[in-house]
Structure 1
């Protein structure tokens, strides 16, 4: 699954960051690294950009950037 597919309010773990060069360096420096939890906060009206929460701060990414980040969606907490 790609980060761009994450629905507003959902959480996931980052599995892999694709891309290269300046984009890859910038995205890794912002904390988008394997195993980091990320949540989708807000989708703009035209679906671009998308606001995410990661490491206690918020960052907006273009859809074309978010599609380069592979994630594993977190399961909902089950209450018994």
Structure 2
């Protein structure tokens, strides 16, 4: 009788854990699909921004015109007293 009760108890615990594992697995799958959608959305937005700004052509234009980047170690703040 003791073994029957222990077996039934273990079966019930196993079913509860299995239902929990399935629930967590579905939640992770949902989050993973949402992450993939956000990643695709981010890549599309990034492509649109690069198309609008066209960073590579702006960079080549700046290099042609002789633009010198700022050396922040030489910049000083002047206070007005």
The TM-score, its normalising length taken from structure 2, stands at 0.18
The TM-score, its normalising length taken from structure 1, stands at 0.18
Greater helix share, structure number: 2
Greater strand share, structure number: 1
Larger RCO (CA within 8 A; separation ≥ 6):
1
